[in-house]
Amino acid sequence: MTSNHRPALITGLRDLADFLETNPDIPVRHPWVALYHFPDGATDQDRRDQIDKIAAYLGSEIDPTDLPDHYQTRISFGPVTYKAIAISTDARARHNALSTYTGCVEPDSADAA
């Protein structure tokens, strides 16, 4: 995407909605859509500050569900949600450590049992 991807995103969302509306036989398995924003920032506090600004703009609260690893806020329009999340440096490090095993371990096939 280009650096000014917002108009393309908005157009794409409208086109998808129009497509689904005019093609009722197309299955929609999950009755929800989420758009995520992950802020940049050198420190956890920088990223949390950005989430605080977004929460103030949205008029929403910080969701305490996954604190301190995920500092987040959201606004929903029915089943459509915009969610801004700052993931802590520690949580990113744990995820990266777990990801180092990707491709190294193969589970037994369910057919082998």
| 110 pLDDT higher than 90 | no
Q: What's the CA gap between 75 and 55, in Å, rounded? A: 9
Tens-place pLDDT, residues 20-29: 999 999 999 8
What is the pTM assigned to this prediction? 0.80
Q: Per DSSP, what are the bridge partners of residue 72?
A: 63, 85
For residue 1, what pLDDT is reported? Answer: 38
For residue 81, what pLDDT is reported? Answer: 96
- For the record, the structure tokens of 8 come out as 């393309």
Tens-place pLDDT, residues 34-81: 999 999 999 999 999 999 999 999 999 999 898 889 999 999 999 999
Give the residue carrying structure tokens 């180092």: 100
Q: 82 by DSSP, 3-state: which? A: strand
For residue 104, what pLDDT is reported? Answer: 83
Q: Per DSSP, what are the bridge partners of residue 38?
A: none
- For the record, the structure tokens of 95 come out as 């995820």
- Burial class for 4, CB neighbours closer than 10 Å (0-12, 13-18, 19+): exposed
| 112 pLDDT higher than 90 | no
Q: In what order do the strands lie in the sheet with 33-37?
A: 33-37, 80-87, 70-77
The alpha carbon of residue 52 and the mean position of all alpha carbons in its chain are separated, in whole angstroms, by 17
Give Cα separations from 37 to 34, 81, 103 (angstroms). Answer: 10, 11, 28
